[in-house]
Amino acid sequence: MKLETKARKIHKMLEELYPETPIPLDHKDPYTLLIAVLLSAQCKDERVNKITPHLFKRADKPADMIECSVDEIEDIIRPCGLAPRKSAAIWELSQILLKKHGGEVPDTFEDLEALPGVGHKTASVVMAQAFEHPAFPVDTHIHRLARRWGLSEGKNVVQVENDLKALFPKDKWNKVHLQIIFFGREYCPARGHNPEECPICSWAGVKSVLDAEKKKKKKPTKKDTIPTKKTATKKAAAKTTTKKTTKKTTAAKKATTTTKETAPKKSPTKTTTTTKKTSTKKSSKTTTKAAPSKRTPAKSTTKAVPKQAASKKVEEPTLWSIAVGVVMYRRKVLMIKRAREPYKGLWALPGGKIEANEFMVDAAIREIKEETGLDVSFEDYLGLVSEHLIEKKAIHDHFLLHICRLKPKKGSKISAQEEGEVAWFTMKQLEAQKDEMVPSDYEIIERMVNEEEGNAFACVIEKKGRRHTLRSFESMSCQSR
């Protein structure tokens, strides 16, 4: 089936299932919608709709909102989660709306995305639902279903958004966006999904994608946890062998002791003294062989263990706590070219070691200033990445990366400091430079910044000479480097 034909068939089915698409978040104007969408990050719409009446009763206009303290806003919105950063963003964007936009919400992507806490998805929702501007916001539901249905192979929301815009009529984007979300919640969830019973996946699902999801979510069976009869028999046999070995060892000890006690005493001459010493040495050697240590197999008691066989101490890799800064400006990301190992010559996100008695945010701001000369302010904490660098089949370095999103202060300029080159990159440019980047940094930008897919990841990078290969980058969180 052609992709365009599949998209038309899916669109027709969605129209039949959801002829009406009410906006999920309660609001009365663009400002209250903007605040509600901001609160909905990693929070269900139902919960947001329970909280916003209390917040809007206190303040439903930018002028009223800045009269509240950040702590007061935080107390009201706490049940939505991520209250500290959301409350700060609400207060700051309200102040900017008053200063720059006369207290009104702007109706352009550029102005919306310049507001604190407002990314491309949030801006798209506001443009579509507040101003009825054609937009196709992509969240986790839409990204998941687009891949399951084979409508997009995009790895980030920008690619998926462009693919879906090309498949559906422009005047239907706003409605199709909500229809896919409603369908995902009702029929096509992330967990407990049965493709055979799904009205769309049953005929449009991509087998390779669905199979990969099954493998990823497969839980251990009873066979993995309960020992089989064979295992139990082997363990019993091992116990019996151990008992027999112990009995033999005990018998040998008794025999040695009896020999010593019953041996006839000879006259105390120099010759007999020497004999006694020799026999004592021999008997002590025999006793040592008869009683092997717990870590040594029974067979090894007949042969001396060579010195070379002794286990070597394996040095544990040092764990480095690193603050990494994702500096965004007009949908561009700030990158630096590393001048030192282990990532010498590769483009990377700025950042460095968190010093003793230093907060993670302070470390990120300091490192960016030292490496790029840019003054930045903290905007958001994105999460962490546990990164293992493997070289010659051994862990060479272990980095615990704390990822922060920051923005440049007004009037601040770039001036290379510690590292070599410093430059701004669009996502298209980053994709083109992917082979010249630290592999995990590309994934951080793609999955933690663009997609907001999760806030905890584990990754493995293999280094061979000058080549760095990303072996895995997997989420450590249940849902959402």
Catalytically active residues are: 121, 139
Tokens of 296: 């040594």
DSSP state of 156: S
- The per-residue DSSP string of 271-309 comes to HHHHHHHHHHHHHHHHHHHHS--TTS-GGGGGSPPPGGG
Q: How far apart are CA 145 and CA 143, in angstroms?
A: 6
Pairing of strands 351-353, 347-348: unpaired
Rounded Cα gap, residues 24 and 347, in angstroms: 41
At residue 470, what are phi and psi to the nearest 5 degrees? -80, 115
Contact present, 386 and 400 (Cβ < 8 Å)? yes
Secondary structure element (H or E) that encloses residue 473, with its range: strand 467-475
Query: Pairing state of beta strands 394-408 and 319-329?
Result: parallel
Nearest to 283, CA basis, from 259, 262, 301: 259
Find residue 320's DSSP bridge partners: 399
Question: Residue 422 in 3-state DSSP?
Answer: strand
User: How many residues does the structure list for the chain?
Assistant: 481
Structure tokens at 237: 């046999």
8 Å CB contact between 446 and 426: no
Q: What is the rounded CA–CA span in Å between residue 35 and residue 93?
A: 10
Q: Residue 444 in 3-state DSSP? A: helix
Long-range contacts of 311-318 (CB under 8 A, 24+ apart): 317/388, 317/395, 317/396, 317/397, 317/398, 318/397, 318/398
Q: Environment class of residue 202 by beta-carbon count within 10 Å: exposed (0-12), middle (13-18) or buried (19+)?
A: exposed
Distance CA 177, CA 16 (A): 15
CB–CB of 128/49 below 8 Å? no
Report the alpha-carbon distance of residue 444 to residue 9 in Å, rounded: 35
Closest CA to 458 of 395, 387, 391, 401: 387
CA distance 127 to 137: 9
